Amino acid sequence: MSLPVAVVKSRALTAARAVEVTVEVHLANGLPCFAIVGLADTEVRESRERVRAAIQNSRFEFPARRITVNLAPADLPKAAGHFDLPIALGILIASGQLPAHCAGGAEFAGELSLTGELRAMRGAFAIACGIAQSAGAVGAQPRLFVPEASAGEAALVEGVAVYGAPTLAALCAQLAGLPGHELQRIEPRRTASGHPGGAGSDHAGHPGQGGAESGHAGAQAGVERKTGDTPDLADVIGQAASKRALEVAAAGGHHVLMIGPPGSGKSMLAARLPGILPPISDDEALASAALLSASHSGFNPAHWRRRPFRAPQHSATAASLVGGGNPPQPGEVSLAHHGVLFLMNCPSSSGARSTCFANHSRPAMSRSRARHGMPNFPRCASSSPR
């Protein structure tokens, strides 16, 4: 039986959270057309061709009717390609090819290929965090269906049942209740310390950004340290005064300014600062990973519970440092939340960039301790004498 309007739940990524979006699909008589309304960005409007080809190549019938897709709320901008999957499911439900209420109690996100495969998507972790926060004290555990390649990232969030689907056809078989086609719930891998996580340790820095891992903490957790992937302060030979200064800064949450000629080891020491910071808590890990997941840089599940280390070049623009754009994206200041922000060659920065950073960092330092949600991180800067 087909419904006059099929409703499928999804999420829209913003700079700091994942907002619930209701995907409504209506089929009407008239000349065949496919319209998407609800302040959709270009990549969402282009989903019409991807959805059409994916449905046909998954051995379903694409209805030759007047199709209207509404993304509510209408005043919220929608970007990214993960609306392909809820739109396709809405069309199949509205046309009677899937059971009427098969999408109830679940949310869907994923980008479709023309063959019907589900591609890895950005923001799976942030979407799962948004679902967990919205669920609150509701008895039934919410379900989230995402591409198989992104399921491990979303499964790190507790309180959400995450299922990974390789193709649109496999997901439709699950929703239709076909025997032998059930999708397995994705369970997060656990570290030796019992925390959910990827292949890394509990207290490591962002390896792709030059992060660090505390050798002592890694040994206590029973996690094997990867040579060259997690810089450790214990590897530094000499520099006793500099290492002592970093230890004091890490213990007290102070900022650091290192002055020395090129090649004296300023960047090497800064890259090892995250490894001697206090162990990251569950709330801090969730907040940091959600920001990375919602950004264009993305979040790697292997870096779960690692303090971020951001090192923008001195030529970075003010917008890339403090964020901005349309739709707004977090900058380096926000992405360093609960980690370390390293400013190389600080005096070489442009005046506008330094002023912009100072205006955004002052309220962060004063309000972060009051838990108002502002970025909280120790700043580390370097300078070469002239």
Q: Please list the alpha-helical segments (H only) found in the chain.
A: 42-45, 47-57, 84-94, 124-135, 151-154, 168-176, 215-221, 240-252, 266-271, 282-294, 318-322, 332-335, 351-367
> Residue 258 is inside which H or E element, if any?
strand 256-259
- Give the residue from 279, 18, 248 showing the smallest Cα distance to 123: 18
With a CB cutoff of 8 Å and minimum separation 6, the contacts of 144 are 106, 107, 108, 109, 127, 128, 131, 154, 160, 161, 162, 163
198 or 43: which leads in pLDDT = 43
Count of residues in the chain: 386
Q: Report the range out of 151-160, 289-298, 309-318 with the highest average pLDDT.
A: 151-160
Residue type, 327: P
Q: Domain coordinates of the chain in residue numbers?
A: 5-176, 204-383
Check residue 352 and give its pLDDT: 54
Question: What are the CA-CA distances from residue 154 to residues 55, 192, 234, 308 (Å)?
Answer: 25, 20, 34, 19
Of 30-39, 120-129, 183-192, 240-249, least confident by mean pLDDT is 183-192
C-alpha 300/C-alpha 303 separation (Å) is 6
Q: How far apart are CA 161 and CA 173, in angstroms?
A: 18
**Mean pLDDT (whole number) for 103-108:** 95
Q: What percent of the chain has pLDDT over 70?
A: 77
Asked if the model's pLDDT at residue 222 lies above 50, the reply is no
224 or 289, greater pLDDT: 289
What is the band of 268 on the pLDDT scale with cuts at 50, 70, 90? very high
Lowest mean per-residue pLDDT among 213-222, 230-239, 319-328: 213-222
pLDDT in tens, 115-170: 999 999 988 999 999 898 888 655 678 999 999 999 998 998 888 999 999 999 99
Average pLDDT over residues 169-174: 96
- Which of 15-24, 48-57, 146-155 has maximum average pLDDT? 48-57
pLDDT at 358 over 80: no
Question: Do residues 95 and 113 touch, judged by C-beta distance below 8 A?
Answer: no
Higher pLDDT residue, 106 or 313? Answer: 106
Calpha distance 266→285 (Å, rounded):
27
- What's residue 166's pLDDT? 97
Q: Are 209 and 335 in contact (CB under 8 A)?
A: no
CATH number listed for the domain at residues 5-176: 3.30.230.10
pLDDT at 290: 85
Rounded-to-integer distance, Cα 80 and Cα 146, Å: 14
Q: Taking a C-beta distance cutoff of 8 angstroms, is the pair 232, 294 a contact?
A: no
Token representation of residue 50? 């991807």
Coil, helix or strand at residue 152: helix
**307 in Cβ contact with 340 (< 8 Å):** yes
Domains 5-176 and 204-383 share a fold: no
* CB 95, CB 6: distance < 8 Å: no
Q: What is the pTM of this model?
A: 0.73
pLDDT of residue 292: 85
The DSSP bridge partners found for residue 381 are 257, 343
Mean pLDDT of 70-85: 94
Q: Please give the residue that has the higher pLDDT: either 378 or 200.
A: 378
pLDDT at 323: 81
Residues 361-372: what's their mean pLDDT?
36
Instruction: List pLDDT tens digits, range 27-51.
Output: 999 999 999 999 999 999 999 999 9
Only one residue has tokens 């520099």, namely 239
- Which stretch of 25-39, 341-355, 368-382 has the lowest confidence by average pLDDT? 368-382
Question: What pLDDT sits at residue 368?
Answer: 33
CB 384, CB 343: distance < 8 Å: no
- Of residues 371 and 271, more confidence is placed in 271
Written as six digits, the tokens of 330 are 């977090």
Alpha-carbon distance of 201 to 192, in angstroms, equals 9
Residue 359 has pLDDT above 80, yes or no: no
Whole-number pLDDT of residue 351: 56
Provide CATH code, domain 204-383.
3.40.50.300
